[in-house]
Amino acid sequence: MSSSPSSPPASRTASGLDGAEATIRAAITAGDIKGLALAYIEDGEVRAVRGYGHRNASGQALQTGTVMYGASLTKTVFAYTVMQLADEGVIDLDASISRYLDRPLPDYRRSGRWQDLRDDPRWRDITPRMLLSHRAGFANFAFLEPDGKLRLHFDPGSRYAYSGEGMILLQLVLEQGRPGLDLGREMQRRVFDRFGMATTSMTWRADFAANLADGVTKDRRWVPHDERSRVRAAGSMDTTIEDFARFAAGLMRGDGLSPRSRAEMTRPQAPITTASQFPTLQPELPVARRRPDLAAGLGVVVFDGPQGHAFFKGGHDDQTGNTMVCVERRRACVVLLSNDVMAETLYPTIVRQLLGEAGVPWEWEYGATTR
């Protein structure tokens, strides 16, 4: 690997990979985690892709071609797709979503409890930009509300609050606003085919079963991989570390996007004002206690650190822990996919070993459980 002003010397990269590998192998040997896959991108090119540990209770190896649940990393791929559509004039990020619906949102019964908004006209103030930057005003999902009903907790656009429901709404807006647009097909064509992601899909494929990762919960139970049958912009993607590394590299190069749209994804859209990402609707911190550089991007969270402007996105459920951390100046990323939710405790160490200190807001992302 040749070095350049934007990339570290090959010796430092190799040392970082050796350190990360030692950290991962030690955790697997100790029984702290079951499996983890790693990718390292520098100067917009994939430099390393590796798999460690086990993909299932039978002890079969987790490989670089093992199919893993992408979880909320799906949202970044969705945002990338939306920005292509914005480049083509299919959607205006700052128009009311009502422009793209042939009837009021509460009249729709597909994919969400939109009828619960019938007495709240503020839904007309929601824009695609707000949905991509988690500023619509929803809880993460309606089913998490005490009564299971969807509601707006604050005026759209006024603050950040993470919401998968918002991504699902934008999917509805796209598919209703342009009859015949199918998000699964669009993401296949615009992202997965573009980057040669042959083992990635927004829905389950039978061929995934041959090399598939089951998940491990905090209480160390193995959970079968969920065979998702519906395209969900909030998080239905299955992928491999090989495939997602190709996407991350392409994102850093800006492939498929205008320079303006690529820059817009990682431009601060609005400040993040809470102590942590979850719970979603927690009170805002006093201004003096907020991290001033932490902000919502489009499909990512952005921040400034010792290496300049950077962004990240996580993906998490009871048996999945994923992250992507990228430094813009170096066009460098670390991607970590794990079928064991406890692997998240290692991520600050691994990312630091590979990227150096980037200033990632780990406590905001995970709380105080990482090391």
Predicted pLDDT of residue 330: 97
Residue 155 and residue 97: Cα distance in Å, rounded? 15
Q: Cα(249)–Cα(253) distance, rounded to whole angstroms?
A: 6
Q: Which of 294, 260, 233 is nearest to 79 (CA)?
A: 233
Tell me the pLDDT tens digit for each residue of 267-284: 999 999 999 999 999 999
Q: Which of 160, 133, 169 is nearest to 266 (CA)?
A: 133
Averaged pLDDT, 87-97: 97
Is the pLDDT at 65 greater than 70? The verdict is yes
Residue 8 has pLDDT above 80, yes or no: no
Give 209-240 pLDDT, tens digit per residue.
Answer: 999 999 999 999 999 999 999 999 999 999 99
Task: Work out the pLDDT band at 18, boundaries 50, 70, 90.
Answer: very high
Contact present, 298 and 233 (Cβ < 8 Å): no
| Alpha-carbon span 248 to 353, nearest angstrom | 19
Whether the predicted pLDDT of 369 surpasses 90: no
Query: Model confidence at 4, in pLDDT bands (50, 70, 90)?
Result: very low
109 and 115 in contact (C-beta within 8 Å)?
yes
Alpha-carbon distance of 194 to 196, in angstroms, equals 6
- The pLDDT value given to residue 178: 86
CA distances from 309 to 263, 268, 304 (A): 11, 10, 4
DSSP alpha helix (H) spans, 178-319: 183-187, 241-253, 259-265
Contact residues for 142 (Cβ-Cβ < 8 A; gap 6+): 112, 113, 116, 148, 149, 150, 165
Q: Residue 7 pLDDT > 90, yes or no?
A: no
**Ordered domains of the chain (ranges, CATH):** 10-73+206-366 (3.40.710.10)
Residue 3: predicted pLDDT: 40
Q: Is the pLDDT confidence value at 313 over 70?
A: yes
Q: In 3-state terms, what secondary structure has residue 85? A: helix
pLDDT at residue 76 tops 50: yes
pLDDT at 9: 59
Mean predicted lDDT score pLDDT of the chain: 95
pLDDT over 70 (residue 256): yes
pLDDT, tens only, 185-206: 999 999 999 999 999 999 999 9
